[in-house]
Every structure is written in structure tokens, then in C-alpha cells.
Structure 1
């Protein structure tokens, strides 16, 4: 067997340049880049070293043979020509991977079968012994790559992919592969920063992949030091003595590295469910003395162990949420930028993002950008020097101010030195006056953002007197007033609920996204709210009961006031909040008319109308809904206002419940869904089709002299004309629209129905 071998090192797309630098440093010769791979020549010692020390490669493939092939027969005979008895035993196990197509082979499975057949036929003994297939842990893993009529037959020395270091048994929802994390750290300058004794902090660390990879780099630990199974372990060409020597050297280097004073490496994660898995991963990597993980939000992230410590802040923000996609992440990026400017002056930062436009919203410029692929997703690595000159602010600074900031930054980077102490005339030491810290300014709004902010402030001022007079703190402040900013914005006490309407297909998605970001950046400033109290959702055309389905599980309720009652809203877990703001006038009407009456609330949702009826002095309230979740919420609303007695909550299909009920009510409110097909009800409810039956059943329960209010939000709804033949029907839609919905008078329609 030759002393030098041709090697192929595979890697994720975009890492080729970094991998060739690493591989040459580890001894690869005549190195050349390929797509997702690096090729070169090496000794067996270098091949082993690459397996052990490469932080970036997926696999180390040792080329056994190259040969031209025109068809499947050429493939079979080319593989058969190898002396396979030099590589594996006849009763060993085998796995074959095939890539590429052409030369009559368009199916990789068929190609792999031909390679397997050739190896098995070559090793079959007269006694019938032959290799068997083991796809998980074979003795030998063979790879054949077909490239423009040439077959490249290789032995996989790595076995399982090298990115699987073995420490990460627990992971989050969308983790970075370990070799991609290592590449990002290398591009971010972490090896240099670590060599200088710098710190590292990840404010969104998940289960700690960046932290562990950084710790291994800083402590000079081979990334695959703890791996036990290799692709060469059962290979007959394996040189155990050479491998043992290299492995022992790596063990000694790791021991020496870990014996050094540990660097300050810290991770912070908002999700408490990821804290222990992250700590477990750190412990398995043997870095518990170097790395600590804490629970914490980005907005309160404070990386500096002391004023003189500098280093690298690195993070991989989430790429999207179920509700609101990228828009919901704007404030996360703004918080990150704000913390970098306020708490990390003179540090370096690296933000790996699948949404580069959001990176521009951090209020701080990047000085370099690198393109990467996270699987099939194109991403950018933004490198940032956290210096005042890089801050994007709302005010222009004079040259003198800029010079003062540069001097301050230089001062902050200078180690403390003994200074001559000065004394006053009484002999007391005079404390030196510290240089003023740079002023952290809010990021500048774009022209469109400022225009949007002006509109919000105008709307807020216009509604101020009405809101105060009516005693409400939850209302709509904007509803697509400016068509290019298509969203609805509602205030709930000191929270803001934003619903982004999906842009028409005719609108350029990039322009729509940019406008959304401009608007979201303006909202906290215009409404004077903490951006962490802005909840963003995307509202699209709904079908069935989708708007009532649970979207998240935070379980966070906010108490709001409306007309003298307290109500609970949930801004995060559902598309709707538990309180339909446009029905406020109807609820207030019910409160005024409920004194001494028996009130029935059908399709009650969270029973907000029942709370108002109880507040108005209703003799009793009965609330009916199919959802146990919403009835539990209704119970909390009633209890919050001290209404527990004489307020029934009934779970059931409204139509069936009405058919079986024999009670009478003086005041009935019906706000049905447009469509419902719950598994807990018989058949399907369609408000347009079933309105007559519903109203007839409800009117049968109405006491003499009673009133039924019927309302719904279906834009195409038409009340059946024949209802007016049997009942006195009066449309009151205009009377049930408050000033905050004056721009959208078609938000709902309402009728007052009484017996003739």
C-alpha cells in the first residue's frame, strides 16, 4: 500500500475556503477546492490527524481508485478489480454510499447495489462466507462518487459524520451543526481573541453549541477526541500504533489546555427548558469549569465580567416564529443591538442570521459580512466592532464629539496603570474625573417609519379624550390607515398587539417586508411603550376555527379595563386575544340594559358580554360555548370581577343546547362564528345557512318583552328577509361602531330582534 494517499474532505456548502486553510495546516498537500469538498494528498498520519482535529469537515474519504466508466458493467468491473481482501474480512460488514449520476446510472440506489455486488463477489469464499450489509455501524463504509464519467471509489475513514462530536445528545428546535458553529467562530476571530485571553458570550445560546465549540478551541481540545467508533477501526489497512500516538498527543494537549486558567465563556438562554440540556452538553464535553449557562432575556443581557474584560459576543438568533414570521423578531434584533451598544463597548460581535435585513435594524453597522449555508437556508455572518463610530443614531455628531468618543474608546481599551495621585490643600486625595461615557441614542427611523410614527401619534391624540371619558384602556389605534402599511394595531393597557395583514401577491415581498420593519421600529417610539411589550402576529384569511386554535403556550394573561369591568386577554397564545374590541359598544349596551334581567350569551367565547351583564345588575347570566378552554377563561373573567353566583357556564353545541333548553331569558346575545366543524358537535355550522334555525331556536327561549341581539363579522353575511316577517328586526350596526373602528364600519353587522 502506498505511503501517500489522495483524500477528499467533504464539508457543508460555503466552508470550502476555511476547510482548505485548516487542512493544509494539518498537513494536507497539493490541496484544491471543490464544491462542498477539498481534495489533496496526505500520509496516513495526516489522514488520522484530519479525522481527529478537523473542526470543519464532515468526512475524510481515502481514495482507493479512480477509473472511467461508460455503464453499469464498467462500474462493476472497476470495483471488482480492487484487492478487497487487503481492506476487510470476508465475513465483515459493509455500507455503500453512492453520489452522482450519468453513464447509464440515474438511480443512486442502483449504483450502490452494483458497488456492493462487486465487493461481495470479490470476497465470497468457497465456503459461502461473504460480507453483509450494516448501514448503521459497518466495519467498512465505502463511498463512490460519479463525476462526469469518472468513478472515484473511496473508503470513509471518519465513519459517522465528523460534526457529530458526541457531546450534544440534547438539542433545541433548530440547532447549528457543530462544524458550522466552529466555522462561524473561526470567521469571527475567536481563535485570535481566545489566544489573547478574551471572553465569549452568547446571549441566545440554546443548548450551547457555540459555547462548547469555543471552549474546545480555547482549550486546544481536538473536536473528536472523545469519539470511540471510527471508519478505520476495523479496516485492515489501519495502523493502530500510529493512531495511538496521535491520540495520546491530543489527550496531552487537551490536559495542558484545560489546566490553564479558564477563559470567561458564558451563555444566556430565555427558554428555561433548554438550560439543563445545555449544561448537560457542556458537562459531556468536559468543559464545566470553562463554560456557564444562565437563564436570561436578551434585553437584560450583561456580558462583561468586569470593565476591563473584552471579547466576542456571538449568537444565532431564531429565524422565525409561527405567528408573524420575521416581523416578530424585529424587537429581538433591536434589543440585541441596544445591549451591544450599552453593555459591550469595545467588544467584537458576530451575528449569524437567516434574515440579513433584520441585522440592519440593530442600530450598529457591520464591517464585514460572510455568506454561509445552514442546510438549504442561505445565511449571513455579520461581524461588528462595537465602537461608537459604528452606531447608527438619530443625531449627527460633530467632529469634536466623534474625536472625544474615539479617545474614550481608546482609553477604555488601555489596561489600568498606576497613576500619580493628586491631593487638595487639606491633604485629601483628589479623585480623577472619569471621561464621559458615550451617549447611547435610539436608532434613526427611516422616512417611511417617521411618517408612520406621526400617524400613530395623531391617532393616539385624537382618541385621548374619548378613551378617558369611556374608561377604557384597550382600543384600536390604527387599522391600515395608510394602505402601504397594512396592519391593525391595538393597545391593551401598556401592551401593543400588532396584526400584520398578508400583503397582496402584487406587492414586492421585499418592499412589504421593509415597510413592516419600518412600522414596527416606529411603534415603541410613537406609542411610548417598551418594545418588549409589542406582540406581532400575521393575520391571513381564516377558514373554520383556525382563528381560535392555539398558536403558542406561554399562558401569559394581561388585565385590562373596559367600562368598569376587568377582563383578561392573552396576546400571545391565540390569533385573537380573548376580547373582540369592535364589540365594545354592544357589551356596553348589554351592561346598560341588563338590570334585573336573565341574560343568555350564546357562542360566548370568553364571556366578556356576560361580565358586562353581571356588572349591569343582571338577575342571572348563562354562557354557552363548546370550548372548555374558553369557558375556563370565562370563569376567570367572572371571578376577577367578583361574579361567581348566578352566573352559569354551559359547555355544549349551541344548536343542540337550545333544542334541549326550556328556560326563558329576557336578554340574549348571539355572536356566532362564520363556520365551525368541531369534532365535539354534530354536523357543521355555517352562519349564512343556519341563521334562521339559530335565531328561531333562540327566540323560542326569549321571554315576552325580551330583546335578542344578533351580530357577526362575516363580510358577505346577509340576514334572511323572511325573519322580518315573523319578528321585529332592526339593524343597529351603525350604533355599535366606536370611534376606534370608525374607519372600518364593515367590521361587523348587528341587529336588534324582538317578538312582534
Structure 2
């Protein structure tokens, strides 16, 4: 074996350039970057040093040979050309990892099997004994990569991936791999800042990965110093004395680094469940005396280093997967920008994000951006200099300082900082102006009518295809799915413009804005839970109290456009038996009960909504004489023999729930539905029928059997006057004869 080897270091995609610089600094010669890897030349000491000190590599591979492969037999012969007695005892164990395809080898399992057979057959031929296969902890891990007819055969010196430093046993919801976190810190200039004695803060630290990696860099701790098992530990070419010397040198450097005065490194995390796991990670990394973690919300983030030094703010905000996340994420980024502008002037900042368009909403211009990958997710690293010249919003102006008495002395408190709200785009300002105009007009009407919940905006401007509803001091936003002809990026930008405008235009806390995507909901999808917050809010309407939930379902539990019909039912219900079909959360039933209905019956297929209905009734003190029935409405009507003086039907446009037989289509099935319901209508009774299918046409044959009058115009309130087609409604009675 020669004293100089070809070495290949693998890494996450997009880190090749950084890894090449790092590897050259650690002694690798003739370094060349490849896709997700770098290669070069080095002796065994260089290979060991790379294993111990590389913060960016996944694996260190020592190349045993390269050879052409035209078929499986040539692969077998090429592997056998290596003298495996120099690497593995016949009684030892091995594992083979195979990547690539071609040359008649299209299955990685088959390729690995050919490599294993070649090694085992050679050792058994020469010694009469054969090694075993151990995929978890082998004496030797062999790697073969097949690419365009060339095989690269290597020994894996690292064992398991080098990003697994060993300190992070507990992880948050979306942890960064340690080598990606290290790369972000290097790109952000942390080694330079740390060398100058600067500080570091992470306002959303999770389990502390940035903090540990930053601490190890600052204290000169080799990232894999604490690892005990290596891929070379039982390799026959291993030189223990050389490794012991290098490891001892690294231990001495770490001890010297930790003996210095610690840098100011702090993390803040809102979720109390992550605080202790983060502190445990710091302790395992040996940095518990260097780094501090506190529980704290982003809204209170304000790093104040002990000696007043400046430094780096680094964070990886959540990417967002829950319903309503576009709004919460936008405001989180706006909040982050506000805290940087007001509390971190003069600092540098690095924001690693899977939603780079939100970085533009922070109110600070990034001076540099890097494209990185977090696994398979394309991301951006946004770098900022937190100086007024880079602020998109106005400069911050300190408020007058305040003083108070502490221990008999007058002590100045740091002045509060007034921060201008984020400047809206031209389109965002237009949207804000429209909201304010509508609020001025509809607000007077709502206050006069005693209405707490109403529609403020409904795609008034086609570019901003949203419905904006007010629920007291909350805003519920529904985004209509844009047509395919609209560029998705442009639609997303407009949505973010609108979301930025809403809190400013309505003077409402951003945390009280919830957004959902509105698309056609087929079948049981309309009943599916979207989130698990379980947060119900009590609102009032026409003297009744109703529960709404803005976060957990596509709809809120209250159809605002049916307000006039509910109030009409309340006025007409006195002394009558009321039937509510497809009752949803039974808001119309509560109105009927409030109006003095003799009894009510409410039917729906969903147990979830019937439970909600029961709570609505109980909230108003109604329990007896108010029946809730679960079942398919058509089947229920066929079996029911009751009579009702007042009936309300508001069916879905379409339903194919597993709990019902067949499929309900309101256009196709409304005649049968109304015939069944009219058979239950008492003499002189009234049936109200409504639906929101835009193309709906009432079958003319119904007018031959019943007295039918369309009341759509009378069933739309002022807040839906801009969209009179929100629903159509009819009043039906038996013909007089």
C-alpha cells in the first residue's frame, strides 16, 4: 500500500465549495469539487484529521481502486483485484454499500451482493474461512460507486455519517443536520466574528444545534472529538499510534479553548418542552458552561451581551405545514425583522429559510443570498447587515427614557423603541385602502344592527382573490384558489401583500389573523379536521350565542351569508315544530329555539358537527325538546313520520361520504329531496330551501306541485351585496286547493 491515497469526502448538495476549502485547510491536496463530494490526495494522517475535524463532510472514503465495468462479471473481477487480506481478517465482518447503476447492474442490492461475494470468495479461497455480514457495526465498511461504466471502490473510514456528532439525542420537529448548521454559520461569517470576540444569538433555537456548532467553532473543539467508534477502528490498515496522537492534540486544543473566557452565546425558545433537551445537548457537547438557553417568545427577543459587543443573529424559522400557516409565518418574519431593527442595530443576521419570499417581508434588505438544500428541500440563506441604510421601513426612533426608583436610587431604564410598521407594496396599499373603505361603510351598519361577525371583503379586486371576514377582534381569511393561468409566484406575492396589509388596515394583532385555502370541497372533505387547536370563540347574533372555531376546520361553524335566513326563522318559529336538514352546527336551530319553537329536530351526517350543535344549544340554555339526529338526510326523511310547520334545508353541493350510500348531487337530487321534505310539512307550513351552487337551476316541475317563490334578494345582507350570488334561496308551501 502507498503512503498517499485518493480520498473522497461526501457532503450535502450545495456544500461542495465550502467543503473543498475546509478539506484543503486540513491538508488535502489537489482538491476538486464534485456533485455532493470533493476528492483529493492525502496520507493517512490527513484522512484521520478529516474524520476528526471536518464540520461539513458526511463521510471520508479511502479509494482502493478505480476500474471499468461492462458487466457484473467485470465488477466481480475488479473487486477481487484488491488484496483484501491487507484490510480484513477472514473471521471479521463487513458491510457493503453500493450506489449507481448501469453495465447490466440496475439493482443496488444485486450490485452489493456481487461486491460482497468477490471479497468473501477471495478470503475464503486463501484462508478457508469467510467473513460474516454485519450491516450495523462491521469491522470494515466497503463502498462502491458505479457511474457511467466506472467503478470507484472505497473503504468508509468514518463509519456512520460524520454529521452525527453524538451530542443530539433529542430533536425538535424539523432539526437541521449538524453539518448543514455548521455550513450556515461559516457562510454567515461566524468564525470571523468569533475570532474578534463577537456574540451570537438564536431567537428560535429549538434544541440548540446552531448554538452547539457555534460553540464548538469558538472553543476550537473538533466536531467529532467525542465519537468512540470509527469505520477504521478494526481496519487492518489502521495505525493506532497515529490516531492517538491526533486525537490527543485535538483534546488539548479543546481544553485550551474551553479554558478561555467564554463568548456570549445565547439561545431563546418559545416552546418550554424543548428547553431541557437543548440544555442536555449542550451538556453532552461539553458546552454547558459556555452557552445559555432561555425560554422566550420572539416578541421579547432582545440580545444584550454583557460587554455590549455586537455579533451574529442566526435562526431557522419554521417552514409551516398547518392550516393558517401563511399568515402566521408572514407575521413571524415581520416580527423577526422588527426585533432585528429595534434591538440588533449594528449586528449581522443570517436567516435560513425554506420560504425565501417571506424574507423580503422582514423590512431589511439582504446583502447576500446562498442557495442551500435541506435534504430534498431547496432553501435560501439570507444574510443581513442590520444597519439603517438597509432598512426598507423607516429608521427607528427611541422614545424618551424612563426612570424608576430601585433601592432608593433613580435608575434609568433603556428607552422603548418605536418601530415603523413594514412598508406596504403598492398593491398591498391598494388592498389596505379598500379594506379601510369597506370597514368604514360596513362598520356603521354592523354596529347599528348589533352584528359581530360579517364579511368585510370578497374578491372586490380580482387580483386579490380573498374573502375577509371579521369575527369580533379576529380576522378569518379565505384564499380562493387562483386559476391555472395565474403565475403561482405572482399569486403567492399578492397573498403576502394582502396578509401584510390586513393588520395595519384593520388595526388588529397579527396573531389574530387566520388564513385558509378555499377550493371545491367534495364529500367528506368538508368535515375533515385541518388542525388540532380546539379553540372555540363565543359570538352573538340576533340575541343568541354561537360557538365558532377559526382554526381547526375549513369552515368556522357559522355561515355568515345565511344570517338573514336565520333571523327570519327566529321571527317565524314561535309555537312551531322546526326541522333543520343538513343542520351543520345547528345555528338556525338555536335561532328557532330562541324564537319560541315548540320543538326542533336537526339532522346531519357528521357526529363532529352534531356535537358542536349540542354545545350551541346548551350555550343558550336549550336542551329538552331539541332533538339531534345523525344520519343521511334522504334516508332519514324516508323513515320519518313527523310533521313540521317550519323546515330549513341548506344541502351541500356534492357529497360522497363513506357514511352514506351513493353520492348526493344537489342539482340532480334536489327534486327528490324537496318532495320528501314537503311530505313532512304540516298544513300551512313553510319550507326554506337554499344552496350555494353557482350554476344551480330549480327544476320547473316543482312549481307545478308547490307554491314556490324565490327570496334570494331578500336573503342577502349588506355585507354580501357585492356578491349577490353567494347563495340562492326559495320559500315553498303546499298549493292551496
Q: TM > 0.5 between the two?
A: yes
CA deviations over 1:623-681 (Å, ceiling 9, x no partner): 22232222222233233333344433333333333344343332221212223333333
Q: Where do 1:471-486 residues align within 5 Å? A: 471-486=450-465
For 1:433 and 1:701, locate their aligned partners in 2 and report how far apart those are by CA, in whole Å.
74
Q: Where do 1:645-660 residues align within 5 Å? A: 645-660=624-639
Deviation at 1:106, TM superposition (A): 4.8
Q: Where do 1:192-341 residues align within 5 Å? A: 192-271=192-271, 274-304=274-304, 308-323=308-323, 326=326, 329-341=329-341
For 2:167 and 2:733, locate their aligned partners in 1 and report how far apart those are by CA, in whole Å.
71
Pair 1:681–1:100, CA change in 2 (3 A):
closer
Deviation at 1:79, TM superposition (A): 1.6
Runs (4 or more) in structure 1 with deviation over 6 Å come to 429-434
**1:713/1:747 contact within 8 Å kept:** yes
* 1:4 corresponds to: 4
For 2:561 and 2:435, locate their aligned partners in 1 and report how far apart those are by CA, in whole Å.
19
1:349 and 2:345 equivalent? no
**2:324/2:514 contact within 8 Å kept:** no
* 2:151 corresponds to: 151
For 2:550 and 2:208, locate their aligned partners in 1 and report how far apart those are by CA, in whole Å.
30
Deviation at 1:586, TM superposition (A): 0.8
Deviation at 1:537, TM superposition (A): 1.5
Q: Where do 1:711-726 residues align within 5 Å? A: 711-726=690-705
DSSP-derived class of the 1:638 partner: helix
* 1:358 corresponds to: 358
DSSP-derived class of the 2:726 partner: coil
DSSP-derived class of the 1:46 partner: helix
For 1:279 and 1:583, locate their aligned partners in 2 and report how far apart those are by CA, in whole Å.
53
More moved, 119-128 vs 368-377: 119-128
1:693 and 2:672 equivalent? yes
For 1:432 and 1:361, locate their aligned partners in 2 and report how far apart those are by CA, in whole Å.
34
CA deviations over 1:491-530 (Å, ceiling 9, x no partner): 1111111111121111122222222222222111112212
* 1:512 corresponds to: 491
Pair 1:299–1:745, CA change in 2 (3 A):
same
Pair 1:303–1:433, CA change in 2 (3 A):
closer
Q: How many residues are matched?
A: 725
Deviation at 1:30, TM superposition (A): 2.8
Pair 1:307–1:628, CA change in 2 (3 A):
farther
Q: Where do 1:572-651 residues align within 5 Å? A: 572-651=551-630
Over aligned residues, Cα RMSD in angstroms?
2.8
**1:326/1:355 contact within 8 Å kept:** no
**1:666/1:704 contact within 8 Å kept:** yes
1:523 and 2:509 equivalent? no
DSSP-derived class of the 1:124 partner: helix
For 1:252 and 1:639, locate their aligned partners in 2 and report how far apart those are by CA, in whole Å.
71
For 2:18 and 2:679, locate their aligned partners in 1 and report how far apart those are by CA, in whole Å.
78
* 2:405 corresponds to: none
* 2:406 corresponds to: none
Deviation at 1:579, TM superposition (A): 1.0
Deviation at 1:156, TM superposition (A): 0.5
**1:625/1:631 contact within 8 Å kept:** yes
Pair 1:638–1:208, CA change in 2 (3 A):
farther
Match of 1:547 among 520, 526, 532: 526
For 1:164 and 1:217, locate their aligned partners in 2 and report how far apart those are by CA, in whole Å.
16
**1:195/1:218 contact within 8 Å kept:** yes
* 1:141 corresponds to: 141
Pair 1:256–1:447, CA change in 2 (3 A):
same
DSSP-derived class of the 1:56 partner: coil
* 1:706 corresponds to: 685
Pair 1:678–1:104, CA change in 2 (3 A):
closer
Deviation at 1:155, TM superposition (A): 0.5
* 1:500 corresponds to: 479
For 1:188 and 1:253, locate their aligned partners in 2 and report how far apart those are by CA, in whole Å.
24
More moved, 716-725 vs 97-106: 97-106
DSSP-derived class of the 2:170 partner: coil
* 1:50 corresponds to: 50
More moved, 493-502 vs 553-562: 553-562
Q: Structure 1 regions of 5+ residues with no counterpart?
A: 409-428
Deviation at 1:261, TM superposition (A): 5.0
For 1:744 and 1:580, locate their aligned partners in 2 and report how far apart those are by CA, in whole Å.
15
For 1:717 and 1:433, locate their aligned partners in 2 and report how far apart those are by CA, in whole Å.
66
**1:606/1:633 contact within 8 Å kept:** yes
Deviation at 1:749, TM superposition (A): 1.4
Pair 1:158–1:657, CA change in 2 (3 A):
same
Deviation at 1:171, TM superposition (A): 2.9
CA deviations over 1:545-598 (Å, ceiling 9, x no partner): 313211111112223232222222211111111111111111111121122323
**1:545/1:675 contact within 8 Å kept:** no
Deviation at 1:309, TM superposition (A): 4.9
Pair 1:83–1:199, CA change in 2 (3 A):
same
For 2:100 and 2:594, locate their aligned partners in 1 and report how far apart those are by CA, in whole Å.
74
Pair 1:118–1:553, CA change in 2 (3 A):
same
CA deviations over 1:66-125 (Å, ceiling 9, x no partner): 334444443322221111011012232222223344555555444333322221221114
1:376 and 2:355 equivalent? no
DSSP-derived class of the 2:366 partner: coil
Q: Where do 1:111-126 residues align within 5 Å? A: 111-125=111-125
Q: TM-score, normalised by structure 2?
A: 0.91
For 1:200 and 1:299, locate their aligned partners in 2 and report how far apart those are by CA, in whole Å.
18
For 1:489 and 1:16, locate their aligned partners in 2 and report how far apart those are by CA, in whole Å.
47
For 2:221 and 2:113, locate their aligned partners in 1 and report how far apart those are by CA, in whole Å.
40
Q: Structure 2 regions of 5+ residues with no counterpart?
A: 399-408
**1:72/1:103 contact within 8 Å kept:** yes
* 2:189 corresponds to: 189
Pair 1:180–1:580, CA change in 2 (3 A):
same
DSSP-derived class of the 2:224 partner: coil
* 1:442 corresponds to: 421
More moved, 360-369 vs 275-284: 275-284
DSSP-derived class of the 1:555 partner: coil
Pair 1:174–1:154, CA change in 2 (3 A):
same
For 1:688 and 1:128, locate their aligned partners in 2 and report how far apart those are by CA, in whole Å.
81
Q: TM-score, normalised by structure 1?
A: 0.89
Deviation at 1:721, TM superposition (A): 3.1
DSSP-derived class of the 1:120 partner: helix
For 2:662 and 2:652, locate their aligned partners in 1 and report how far apart those are by CA, in whole Å.
15
**1:328/1:537 contact within 8 Å kept:** no
Pair 1:750–1:273, CA change in 2 (3 A):
farther
* 1:731 corresponds to: 710
For 1:430 and 1:703, locate their aligned partners in 2 and report how far apart those are by CA, in whole Å.
81
More moved, 524-533 vs 89-98: 89-98
For 1:493 and 1:204, locate their aligned partners in 2 and report how far apart those are by CA, in whole Å.
31
Pair 1:287–1:686, CA change in 2 (3 A):
farther
**2:90/2:127 contact within 8 Å kept:** no
For 1:307 and 1:467, locate their aligned partners in 2 and report how far apart those are by CA, in whole Å.
55
